[in-house]
């Protein structure tokens, strides 16, 4: 059975491709999902790729991952900058967490420079557009391999 990495996407990411394409690109969330699933497979992993506009739903998905997944890749979108609830759920998960953003949040408005999610993340990948999700999956595979080797 493949080990599952939960890939969580926060609010407004369902509008990828239509929403500010100059910042977030022209690809859709389905395109992103397809590329992430393929990349996971190359590492012998399964990607459980989800999106929600609802903070509580994201918290519940993180809690569910605790018993069923081997890691979490998360683009919490705007909740990145506001949500202590998502941070607490990630800290409680006891799983490796990788934070991802399509845009380079440090190049943008100051309110995007602070991330609650980062306090729970092994690392952050931002500014590489959709490719960042594949990079995050590569990094997750490496983290999981190094844990197995111990």
Kindly state the number of chain residues that form the binding site for ligand DQA, as judged by CB under 6 A.
Answer: 10
If the CB atoms of residues 49 and 144 are measured against ligand DQA, the closer one turns out to be 49
Q: Which of residues 46-75 bind ligand DQA (CB under 6 A)?
A: 75
24 is catalytic: yes
Q: Are 75 and 102 in contact (CB under 8 A)?
A: yes
Of 32-40, 61-69, 95-103, 136-144, the window that binds ligand DQA (rule: CB under 6 A) is: 95-103
Q: Could you say which of 112, 128, 135, 138 contacts ligand DQA (CB under 6 A)? A: 112
The catalytic residue among 24, 79, 116, 133 is: 24
Of 34-42, 46-54, 90-98, 101-109, the window that binds ligand DQA (rule: CB under 6 A) is: 101-109
114 is catalytic: no
Q: Could you say which of 29, 78, 95, 143 contacts ligand DQA (CB under 6 A)? A: 78
Q: Could you say which of 8, 69, 86, 102 contacts ligand DQA (CB under 6 A)? A: 102
Measured between alpha carbons, how far is residue 127 from residues 23, 48, 49 in Å?
10, 23, 20
141 token code pair: 């595979």
The answer to whether residue 97 forms part of the interface with ligand DQA (CB under 6 A) is: no
Where do contacts with ligand DQA occur on this chain (CB under 6 A)? 12, 75, 77-78, 80, 101-103, 105, 112
């Amino acid at each position: 059975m493949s080990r599952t990495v939960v890939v969580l996407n926060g609010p407004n990411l369902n509008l990828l491709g239509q929403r500010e394409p100059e910042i977030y690109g022209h690809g859709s969330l389905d395109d992103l999902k397809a590329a992430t699933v393929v990349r996971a497979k190359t590492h012998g992993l399964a990607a459980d790729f989800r999106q929600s506009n609802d903070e509580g739903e994201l918290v519940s998905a993180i809690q569910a991952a605790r018993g069923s997944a081997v890691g979490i890749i998360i683009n919490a979108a705007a909740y990145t900058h506001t949500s202590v609830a998502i941070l607490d759920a990630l800290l409680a998960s006891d799983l490796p967490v990788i934070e991802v953003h399509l845009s380079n949040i440090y190049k943008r408005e100051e309110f995007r420079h602070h991330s609650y999610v980062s306090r729970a993340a092994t690392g952050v990948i931002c500014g590489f557009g959709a490719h960042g999700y594949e990079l995050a999956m590569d990094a997750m595979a490496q983290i999981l391999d190094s844990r197995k080797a111990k």
